[in-house]
Structure 1
Amino acid sequence: MCSRFDWPGGVEELTIAPLPWTDHHLIRFRITAPPNLRRGGGPKMVRPRRLMDLDGFLTALGEFPATSAGDPVDALVALWNKEAARAIDTVAPERPLSSTRAKPSPWFTEELAAMKRKKRGLEGVWRSEPSEPNRTRLCSYLRAYAAAIDAAKNIFFAANIASAKNRPAELSRVVRGLLYPVPQDGIPDNSAARCEAFARFFADKVALIRSGFDTILTAVSEDVARAPACPILMDSFQLVQPEDVDKVLGEVRATTCILDPCPSWLVREARGGLAEWVKVVVNASLREGIFPASLKLAVIKPLLKKPSLDPTQLDSYRPISNLPFLGKVVERVVAAQLQAFLVDTDFLDPAQSGFRPGHGTETALVALVDDLRRELDRGSVSLLVLLDLSAAFDTVDHGILLGRLAGMGLGGTVLQWLRSFLEGRSQMVSLGDTCSAPQPLTCGVPQGSVLSPMLFNIYMKPLGEIIRSFGVRCHLYADDVQLCHSFPPVTKEAVQVLNRCLASVSDWMRANKLKLNPDKTEVLLVSRKAEQGIGLQPVLDGVALPLKTQVRSLGVLLDSSLSLEPQVSAVARGAFAQLRLVRQLRPFLGRSDLATVVHALVTSRLDYCNALYVGLPLKTARKLQLVQRAAARLITGAAYRERTTSLLSQLHWLPICYRAQFKVLVLTYKALNGSGPIYLSERISSYEPGRSLRSSGEALLSVPPASQARLVGTRDRAFSVVAPRLWNTLPREIRQAPTLLSFRKALKTWLCAQAFED
């Protein structure tokens, strides 16, 4: 109900009259209502995808003009944008489309609509003449209509799942979209003023952090930031061939930016006919040492951090950057050559696991937990400090980074290209059809770029050396910095060493324009007894860091006793929540599609960092095993009380404890064959008997004796102890497998035989 003052057009000729046959009154009135404008206001210009024919697009684009082969790279990019836009306009010109909400039932086809109309007709016939033949005909058609709906849902859901089959994150979004197709309201206000407010907010956030460094005078800043001199080892790029371009276009993700002249998926699908166009642009950029200026503009989409946050507040959003597709192709070519150079020169810090081949969060956590377990076994106390940095990628100083790049042996055209890639960038915020004015970026590495993590690792290179100079171990994953200091419980002075290390780290961060957050930095005490942490409180920038009994490190909950019970409980809760989500799709998916969804949303959670689960107590591992059993029942349709051992064998799923062993053995194989991190290969060594024995040449590993690992729990769970023990139990032919793929296949078959031998 609303009063006459609430309605925007006003209420006129209002009359209230009683009715003789009821105690209710009849209300009559006249209102003037505004037009029902759809959200987004006005039509939106779109290109029908069904008209985007690959052959037609290539024909309209034509061959690359040979007369332009020697033009500067900026002119070549402008030519590509012009010709690609002309070609897509020819094949699929833009059409106005009124902005409407998503269909609540996107699987509802025209055939179903026709069947629904016929159903309504049969219902009308039966109501007008309720005879038995009419009722039988209606019931039969209702069953056919219900079967057609189920078939349409199966086809629609299967097609959507197949489109994201090998991308778990995308598949998760697809599943949620299938279950809840009506989108939530986005940013409440997408006006031009709101757009400009977002642009200023994101720019001011970085400027505020940088302004704090300018007011801090650090005596060591110049020495810390200076890169050591190094002879030039790489001064030019290797030019690419059409087959190289075809490979890169097949690898890059086809995300379209509003600055792209045509859809990225179309360029990727038509890469065979576009290789010459892209090759000329890439080679011109590499040869001239210039990153095209038109590809330096990033489009920012604000994304709400959490659904529970206030959508009207600017700080509730994080900026998500979208870069032009052609720029990503050029970056990927440079990244491949720069990565090969880093591997050949072994420049990166050995403790750095972020965005490196053969490295990852799991390898970093395996090494960290192995250190903590071995120290706990020796009776030592360990302090794990997890540093928190504010917008680390956005505050990187270009001058310091270029100095580091020169210090590692880059020069000539290579260094010139990297300078051009970093400098002269800008970003604008996009909300709906509204964009803000571009904001210049004077610092930081571009978000969304494949090169940015690599450049950030180079930027952070000196930090590990500084930390280790104090006898403190460190584990790095991009901007996640973790310090681990262990000492006997009676040595209270050891915390002073950690404090001096933290002070040096803070000085280095300030000198390199990186901001530490002492209030968000966490410290985990790892010891046998909680009272051993009394008096052990590190200090960072004058802020005392309280000791915690539980912290989250790279997505894994670590507790003081390293029992991993909080982590297992959290994983089980999250996996069961995903199972409940998937269960709603079960009636509309075939077994293979259902297994794909379960693997992406449930099994992936069980397998994340499951090398840490080796040796878990049965009562703890049972929580994860219950999830796996429920998933097996969901896929096979088995009854609740049916035994799951045969179901797991049928699905070829290893039980939880064997999955953990599988992961440990795979990491061991990689460490022994040079495809894993050096910090893992250093923890295991080959068994070399003192005299000639039958075990010589068996590719066995040396198991630490009991004097080095006294606790039974440590012997069963520390990587440096359990990896050799498990490795030595493998048959010789598996240990000597020539490739990782053959090793994984043989290992899984052998473990399945061990798990289901009964």
Structure 2
Amino acid sequence: MLRGVPQGSVLGPYLFSLYAHTLLNLLNSFAGVTADTYAYDLSIIVEGQSREDAITTANMVLEKLRAWSRGNGLAINPSKCEAAWFTLSTHTESDHDREGKWPLEVAGCKIPVMTMGASRTTSLLGMDLDPRLTLNVAAAKQCVATSQRITQLCCIAHKEAGPSPHDPSTFVIGYGASKLRYGSELIWAAATDSAKNEMQKTHATLARIVSGVPRKVDPESALLEANMPPLHVLCLRARLSIFENIRAARWTGCGDLRLSHRLAQVSASCHYLGMSYTRFWTHTQRTMASPRTHHAKNVSFGAPFLPGLRPPLTRSPSAWNFR
């Protein structure tokens, strides 16, 4: 192997971050452009007063990205490139480019741009993003995925199928709750109360499986029997760990704070939503070896600090209404 890092290695993402550090310095040198990476997933944010301005700047940046990739033994995979157009207003004239006046291209291929009201959403590190950045779509999808796992866990609990774990409680929490809590530190800060309530209902169902209590038992009692904290407490604890990791990143020994953040595996970029901006997720792919392992499943994400670190209003004088 002449280049690349071993597949599945723990050190691989760190080595790649060091290797691609010059690329981020290049992209962040342009006005109105912010770039960051996790492993070899590259996110580029381009700000513009109009869609035409943003697309023009984005095409220039993507051409610089392509040139850097060619000179450093990397290749861009256009089929995995996604773009999203966000605006502060609900409807703007530039939401849709029906005539194709401002195409977004990389390596000669057009990249579809998600706009307000589009049926297809754009995802970042496995989380679906909606145009209003409420993360309700991500919350709904994770509840559905967790419900599928709950069905499997019920079969295991009744010994109808599947393995026979020595510690059923740990198995249920690890297999079921891990899916529900993926990225929840961000979802909980931005999602609406209805989305939070749905997540809490799913979390309570997991607690009933762990404790073995009937379905009619209230969520608080099920959590108490299962010795499981409420979901909003888990989300708050995970969110606080983001800032602990960011603070620890300052002591990694790297002179560049941005590189320190990436080596700490925390993306801590905070971006203010201006007039309008376009965000592009460009996945660069190694030509000979790929470090695509441990794809952020157990990693906290950084984002603008958003209000909402509280449980939703359930109209019940219980621990669920704890502030």
Q: Give TM-score, length-normalised by structure 1.
A: 0.31
The Cα of 1:450 is off from its aligned counterpart by 4.1
Q: Distance in 2 between matches of 1:755 and 1:652?
A: 15
Mark the CA change 1:682 to 1:479 in structure 2 (over 3 Å): closer, same or farther: closer
Q: Following TM superposition, by how much is the alpha carbon of 1:618 offset from its aligned partner in structure 2, in angstroms?
A: 1.9
Residues 592 and 661 of structure 1: is their aligned pair in 2 closer, same or farther, counting only changes over 3 Å? farther
SS in 2 for 1:595: helix
Correspondence for 1:574? 145
Q: State the distance in 2 between where 1:618 and 1:756 align.
A: 12
Aligned equivalents of 1:754 and 1:662: distance in 2? Answer: 16
Aligned to 1:504: 64
CA distance in 2, matches of 1:542, 1:569: 35
Whether the 8 Å contact between 2:188 and 2:196 is mirrored in structure 1 is no
1:668-719 Cα deviation digits (max 9, x unpaired):
3443455793887786xxxxxxxxxxxxxxxxxxxx9xxx99xxxxxxxx74
Tell me the amino acid that sits aligned with residue 556 of structure 1: M
Q: Contact conserved, 1:654 with 1:755, CA < 8 A, in 2? A: no
Return the alpha-carbon distance in structure 2 between the equivalents of residues 449 and 618 of structure 1. Answer: 40
Matched, 1:600 2:174: yes
Q: Equivalent residue of 2:45, what SS?
A: strand
Pairing 1:146-225 to 2, within 5 Å after superposition: none
Aligned partners of 2:14 and 2:240: how far apart in 1? 29
Query: Is the contact made by 1:613 and 1:657 (CA closer than 8 Å) also made in structure 2?
Result: no
2 CA distance for matches of 1:670 and 1:540?
Answer: 34
Q: Cα gap change, 1:672/1:755 in structure 2, threshold over 3 Å: closer, same or farther? A: farther
**Cα distance in 2 between the residues matched to 1:467 and 1:565:** 31
Change (3 A) 1:461 1:617: same
* One of 74, 80, 95 as aligned partner of 1:533: 95
From the superposition, tell whether residues 496 and 681 of structure 1 become closer, same or farther in structure 2 (CA, over 3 Å).
closer
SS at match of 1:482: strand
SS in 2 for 1:492: helix
Q: Find the residue that maps to 2:78 and give its secondary structure.
A: coil
Aligned to 2:29: 469
**CA shift for structure 1 position 509:** 0.7
Q: Residue 614 of structure 1 aligns with which residue?
A: 188
Structure 1: distance between partners of 2:113 and 2:141:
22
Alpha carbons of structure 1 residues 682 and 486: separation in structure 2 relative to 1, 3 Å: closer
Q: 1:661 to 1:502 in 2, by over 3 A?
A: same
> What is the distance in 1 between the residues matched to 2:211 and 2:13?
42
- Deviation per residue, 1:40-81 (Å, 9 max, x gap): xxxxxxxxxxxxxxxxxxxxxxxxxxxxxxxxxxxxxxxxxx
* Structure 2 counterpart SS, 1:580: helix
Q: Is contact 1:621–1:656 with CA below 8 Å preserved after alignment?
A: no
Answer whether contact 2:211 2:225 (CA < 8 A) is retained: no
Does residue 1:657 correspond to 2:232, yes or no? yes
In structure 2, distance between residues paired with 1:654 and 1:618: 19
* Pairing of 1:532-571 with structure 2 (within 5 A): 532-535=94-97, 536-548=102-114, 549=118, 550-571=121-142
Which shows bigger deviation, 653-662 or 499-508? Answer: 653-662
Verify: 1:625 aligned to 2:186, yes or no: no
Q: How far has the Cα of 1:502 moved from its partner? A: 0.7
Q: Matches of 2:140 and 2:179 in 1, distance apart?
A: 12
**Cα deviations by residue, 1:511-563 (Å, 9 ceiling, x for unpaired):** 11211122431111222435433345422233332212411211111122212
2:52, 2:322 → 1: CA distance?
53
SS in 2 for 1:599: helix
CA change 1:447–1:609 in 2 (3 A) is: same
C-alpha change, 1:445 and 1:502, in structure 2 (3 Å) is same
Question: How far apart in 1 are the matches of 2:150 and 2:269?
Answer: 40
Q: What is the alpha-carbon root mean square deviation over aligned residues?
A: 3.5
Could you state the TM-score of these two structures normalised by the residue count of structure 2? 0.69
Structure 1: which amino acid aligns with 2:13? P
1:27-38 superposed matches below 5 A: none
Residue 585 and residue 502 in structure 1: after superposition, are their counterparts in 2 closer, same or farther (change >3 A)? same
Distance 1:652 1:666, change over 3 A: farther
> Alpha carbons of 1:719 and 1:523: their partners in 2 closer, same or farther (altered >3 Å)?
closer
Unaligned 5+ residue runs, structure 2?
252-259, 275-302, 311-317
Counterpart CA distance in 2 for 1:450 and 1:641 is 44
Q: Which amino acid aligns with 1:677?
A: H
More helix by share: 1
Larger Cα-atom Rg: 1
- Change in Cα spacing, 1:514 to 1:670, as seen in structure 2 (3 Å) is closer
1:68-83 to 2 correspondences below 5 Å? none
One-letter amino acid matched to 1:582: L
Counterpart mapping for 1:112-511 below 5 A = 441-471=1-31, 472-489=33-50, 492-511=52-71
Please say if residues 208 and 223 of structure 2, whose CA atoms lie closer than 8 Å, have aligned partners that are also in contact: no
Other structure's SS at 1:508 match? helix
Distance change >3 Å, CA 660–CA 464, structure 1 → 2 = same
Q: Percent identity?
A: 21
| CA distance, structure 1, for counterparts of residue 129 and residue 267 of structure 2 | 20
Kindly state the Cα deviation for residue 662 of structure 1 after the two structures are TM-superposed.
2.3
From the superposition, tell whether residues 671 and 606 of structure 1 become closer, same or farther in structure 2 (CA, over 3 Å): same
Describe the SS at the equivalent of 1:585: helix
Residues 1:666 and 2:241 are matched in the alignment: yes
Unaligned 5+ segments in structure 1 are 1-440, 684-703, 710-717, 730-752
Q: Secondary structure at the match of 1:533?
A: coil
